[in-house]
Amino acid sequence: MSTDDVLRRSVTVTPGPEDAFRLFTAGLGEWWPLATHSVGREGSRGVVLEPGVGGRLVETLPDGGAAVWGTVTAWDPPRRVAFTWHPGTPEAEATQVEVTFRPDGSGTVVELAHSGWARRTDGDRARVSYGSGWRLVLGAFAERAGTLPSEGEEKQGQAGPERGAPRAQP
């Protein structure tokens, strides 16, 4: 494996691209598995993604302090968001994450591409770790997306058991 390899993960969710994009960005704090995938772990108070280029991904730590995970580098709702990524590591070692939202029938294919491993001192090891980590994170996103109504459903409706379930994860 090379530290230049792009790590790709994808999931297909029921909501359309607009709702999927909104949940992934503005709703990040609703679904992100902070207890296992954050700087503050179980004590973390929340995480937000500030909209627009230059916006930050910021976790509120147990002591009320902040941990910046990255900075938005591309903002193209509802098609694409990209950001630098360095939670718990020096900003100089930031990698790059790009998430795209593509219509697929009545749902959306959400694809995440994580690159820039050569910038990290532990690039190969980090890439392996993020391989399973992004699977879990996208699974949490898909689970939360499954509780959103699809187009044509009432906004207060509940999704069926298969809604939001990952259909494809490389």
For the chain, the domains span: 7-145
Reported as a single tens digit per residue, the pLDDT across 88-133 is 999 999 999 999 999 999 899 999 999 999 999 999 999 999 999 9
Reported as a single tens digit per residue, the pLDDT across 13-70 is 999 999 999 999 999 999 999 999 999 999 899 999 999 999 999 999 999 999 999 9
The structure tokens listed for 30 are: 């609703």
In sequence order, what E strands does the chain have?
7-13, 46-49, 56-60, 66-76, 80-85, 95-104, 107-115
Which one-letter DSSP state was computed for residue 5? P
CATH number of 7-145, picked from 3.40.190.10, 3.90.780.10, 3.30.530.20, 3.90.1150.10: 3.30.530.20
Cα gap 66→69, rounded to integer Å: 9
CA 54 distance to own-chain centroid? 17
8 A C-beta contact, residue 1 and residue 127? yes
Q: Which residue has the tokens 């900075």?
A: 71
